[in-house]
Chains A and B, each alone.
Chain A
Amino acid sequence: MAKASLHQEFVQLIAQHQKLIHSVCSLYYPLPEDRKDLFQEIVLQLWKSYPTFNYQSKVTTWLYRVALNTVFARIRKEKSRPRNEPLSEQIDQIPSADSDNVESSATQELYRAISQLSDEDKAIILLHLDEHSNDEIATMMSMSRTNVSTRMSRIKNRLSKLFKKELL
């Protein structure tokens, strides 16, 4: 009975915040099937760590931490076992969130620009755009606050260049 309610509680929490997980998946993987696989992997990791989550930190902080750890672990695994097709080709083929979904050009430009950043920089800008402070980002990414600030200014420069390029 208690276990059933734990399942239900978890499912409701994930259903409420799933767009956050989907945004992480879509930023790192252009193909819908890869995104689906990653989403499942993240949800299962969240379910494993749910009993130890005590609501002392923000739900979104916990979700991001687990989601990004899962993404980085997966990327590390894939780097040791490279794919056949280069990732840049996949990004060109499927530029947006879903091939069936027509996105506004502005959000598509933002997606394209962020997609071109390195894996860690993507995570930093993602957390920054979701209103996390540099301290929170530093904790989540296991970096120093100074490192986060330095990288943030580099990311801003890079994004502004990429945006100009996209708009030309």
Chain B
Amino acid sequence: MNTDDLKPLWEAYKNEVGSSMKWSEKELLQLIKPAAVAYPWYQSYRHAILNVGVSVLLLGITSGC
């Protein structure tokens, strides 16, 4: 079998598949750019809030309240 005869067919197949499954540049850009995750405002203060909470609790227990 001479595969040279198949080359134009393969090119046609690639074009058909390429046009039916085409992605826009915008879609491609969205794929490679990691999505920005929205964190709630208190997320960055959670350690401080936890520390204060635990301190208040310990203070309450030790002082007998």
Contacts and interface: CB of A to CB of B under 8 A. Distances in A.
Interface residues of A, number: 42
Interface string B1-13: 1010011011011
Interface in A74-116: 97-98, 100-101, 103-104, 106-107, 110-111
Contacts of B37: none
Nearest to B21: A22
A43 B9 contact: no
A18 B25 CA distance: 10
A130 B10 contact: yes
Interface SS of chain B: helix
Given A15-B28, A26-B17, A97-B17, A107 B22 contact: no
Nearest to A104: B12
Given A107-B13, A156-B1, A35 B7 contact: no
Interface size class on chain B is: 20 to 34
A15 B18 contact: no
Given A101-B20, A110-B9, A159-B1, A19 B14 contact: yes
B13 A15 contact: no
B33 A7 contact: yes
A141 interface: no
Nearest to B19: A19
Contacts of A2: none
12 contacts: A19-B14, A19-B19, A19-B22, A23-B18, A100-B20, A103-B16, A107-B9, A129-B3, A130-B10, A131-B7, A156-B3, A157-B1
